[in-house]
Amino acid sequence: MDLTELSVTRLKGVGSKQAEKLARLQIKSVQDVLFHLPLRYQDRTREIAIGNLAVGLEAVFSGIVLNIEVLFHRRRSMICTIGDDTGEITLRFFHFSNQQRDKLRKGTRVSCFGEIRRGRQTLEVVHPEYQVLSDGAAPMTAQTLTPIYPVTEGLHQLAMRKITDQALTHLQNASLAELLTVPATDTTLQEALATVHRPPPSINVEALLQGSHPAVQRLALEELVAHRLSVQRVRDKARLQSAPAIAAPGDLCAKLIESLPFTLTGAQARVIEEIAADLQTPQPMLRLIQGDVGSGKTMVAAAAAAMAVGAGYQVAIMAPTEILAEQHLASFTECFEPLGLNIGWLKGKLGSRQKRDAIEAIAMGHTHIAVGTHALFQRDVEFANLGLTIVDEQHRFGVHQRLSLREKGIENGRVPHQLTMTATPIPRTLAMTAYADLDCSVIDELPPGRQEIKTVAVPNSRRTEVIERVAVAIAEGRQVYWVCTLIEESEVLQARAAEDTVTELVDHMPDVAIAMVHGRMNSADKDQTMHEFKENQVQLLVATTVIEVGVDVPNASLIIIENAERLGLSQLHQLRGRVGRGSVSSSCVLVFESGLSQRAKQRIAIMRETNDGFAIAEKDLELRGAGELLGTRQTGVMQFRIADLMRDKKLLEQARQLSEQVPAENVPALVERWMGDEAPEYGNV
């Protein structure tokens, strides 16, 4: 019996409606059920005394009902207090029946399971699972750890467990193809699946929860191999296409480099050589440039553009936000207009006539370099002779998005070369898996004269001291960024609004030129404000996180980041990189609210310890995980079911080796098994 062909509708209790819900989770066959793995486990194997319960713990506990009452406040609720020899706890129900109330009468012994929360007077559990115990009956403990599955609306954990129970029975009676030969292990695929879904009582619970158990490692290894193969197939498909062979670097590139008022770093020169070597081949370049804040990625991209334009091709530069795209427009205009090139500009909010003129200039070939946002790959945009695409902040784009812009340049079976960049350093362990479809270049050297940034953390209670420090810096002729996390006041987040901050700072420094910039401003006002700041007509710029990337003002030597506890490490590092671009020492002040979480304390401590973006990226990976670090929680890219790139670093090299040994006929089934509908459409690359 082939479990890949056995429909979930063959399982008891799975009718058409339930099948629709399962399909939302990409579960259509019994094999899909088996590879829909638990997110975590609940430990219901032991009972905990009420006095030993703690906030955040999920636990089994039991006690005698001491009091029960129905309250009528804003919402009707039933409050039941139970206790044992060690303490008392409250059970709170918002949905209940008279029958439930009668069962939980005073003196009844109950066994409960739920998440412990902090109540008004005692600890409490909202809507616990509970069971009334007869005299001498044992509490509702389980024989195994209880799996918690990813579910969807209308599909409950109990139903998912019953469906999985049936799938595991089928697994016992049928073989599951071992598509991957894993040496030096006693754990078969079937054993690993059975263990992870229904951990036996004898299992090492700690190893299972931490992911170090052989069953978890066996499945994680296969998932990493499947992911690598899926991305590799995208790359291989792209490599089968042809691209224009560009005789790089060429006269235009040489003129560009000669016109620079500085000398390229060794790292920049090395990466430019790597790009030149790629462009000279008739296969499309797929290269990722990684570089820390201020390492000079834009100049490397400009050199690549010069190689393509010098050979008679157009270049498209795409950025995820308008402010970053505008910065590229300014940089490339400054570099190339003196050399006689036309730089085009295309974004979603252009007026109809401007947009029409920009699209026509691109189609006619009058635009040598087109800069823009996602608008560049809209249906009505056509290039005359696109030879190179450059995608900045590429970690915000998935594989399909990175390649979609290339489709604009397909001509006579040839596709343009593609260069992608990120100012967010990606740990090597993550890059080798997440971006296996790309060749990676690292600019690991900062330009001479870049100053190390001193970072301090200050509680908001010392806000007046921070403002005084800002006033001193401005009096010394320096400029300052003041970053707020929101534009408008929010009762939920309690973040200080940028508008209120401007008012406050004007009151303290009435003679200082203060301006504000945020993402909701129209482009003309935003451009004007940024220009005035760059020209030192504005000394203090209050901004939201729109200035995270792409803003270069060498005279700015101090940045204040409010509510620093709300931002991730990567974002904090990017914001800090707005200063330290001149010849004087620079500082970053992280202002935080009291009552920091443990994770927020860790982030702020790391920022104080190091300016190394790659070290910060490793820590960010530890704290947040790969999905959040790559910005893919929302996009669905890199959503591993069981593998954890930080935990399973030691498996990555083995996964790379095994991926090269998988028989070609097994690859489609292995990728489908783990990635389902998220597997790339190889024929459409």
Of the listed ranges 162-171, 398-407, 600-609, 622-631, the least confidently predicted one is 622-631
CB atoms under 10 Å from CB of 379, counted, come to: 6
Provide the pLDDT for residue 400: 58
Structure token pair of residue 580: 């330290």
In tens, the pLDDT along 71-104 reads 988 788 999 999 999 999 999 999 899 999 999 9
| Beta strand pairing call for 286-291 and 417-422 | parallel
The residue with greater pLDDT, 639 or 440, is 440
User: In this structure, is the dihedral angle defined by the CA atoms of residues 633, 636, 641 and 647, taken in order, positive or negative?
Assistant: negative
User: Mind giving me the DSSP string for 273-310?
Assistant: HHHHHHHTSSSPPEEEEEE-TTS-HHHHHHHHHHHHHH
Of the listed ranges 28-37, 87-96, 270-279, 403-412, the least confidently predicted one is 403-412
Question: What's the N-to-C CA distance of the chain in angstroms?
Answer: 35
What average pLDDT does the segment 566-594 reach?
87
Angle 214-239/667-675 helices, nearest 10 degrees?
A: 120
User: In this structure, is the dihedral angle defined by the CA atoms of residues 555, 560, 561 and 565, taken in order, positive or negative?
Assistant: positive
Provide the pLDDT for residue 491: 39
Provide the pLDDT for residue 626: 55
User: Mind giving me the DSSP string for 78-100?
Assistant: EEEEEEETTEEEEEEESS--HHH
Let me know: does 225 contact 180? Beta carbons within 8 Å.
yes
On the question of pLDDT at 631 being above 60, the answer is: no
The residue with greater pLDDT, 121 or 436, is 121
In tens, the pLDDT along 453-477 reads 999 999 999 999 999 999 999 999 9
| Domains with residue ranges and CATH for the chain | 8-41+146-235 (no CATH), 50-133 (2.40.50.140), 241-443 (3.40.50.300), 453-614 (3.40.50.300)
In tens, the pLDDT along 191-208 reads 999 999 999 878 887 888
Provide the pLDDT for residue 681: 45
On the question of pLDDT at 488 being above 70, the answer is: no
Structure token pair of residue 387: 């030879």
For the chain, give the mean pLDDT: 85
In tens, the pLDDT along 632-650 reads 433 334 568 888 877 888 8
CB atoms under 10 Å from CB of 23, counted, come to: 14
Percent of the chain whose pLDDT exceeds 70: 89
Give the whole-angstrom CA distance, residue 10 versus residue 664: 31
For residues 409-435, one letter each, b for 16 or more C-beta atoms within 10 angstroms of the residue's C-beta and e for the rest, the string is: beeeebbbbbbbbbbbbbbbbbbbbbb
In tens, the pLDDT along 243-274 reads 999 987 889 999 999 999 889 999 999 999 99
Task: Count the alpha carbons within 13 Å of 219 in the hemisphere toward its beta carbon.
Answer: 26
The residue with greater pLDDT, 303 or 378, is 303
Q: Where are the alpha helices (DSSP H) in 389-451?
A: 399-404, 428-434
Provide the pLDDT for residue 637: 42
Q: Give strand pairing partners of 131.
A: 111
- pLDDT band of 14, cuts 50, 70, 90: very high
Provide the pLDDT for residue 633: 35
- pLDDT band of 450, cuts 50, 70, 90: confident
Give the whole-angstrom CA distance, residue 417 versus residue 684: 17
Q: What is the pTM of this model?
A: 0.67
Provide the pLDDT for residue 494: 36
The residue with greater pLDDT, 682 or 174, is 174
Give the whole-angstrom CA distance, residue 326 versus residue 343: 12
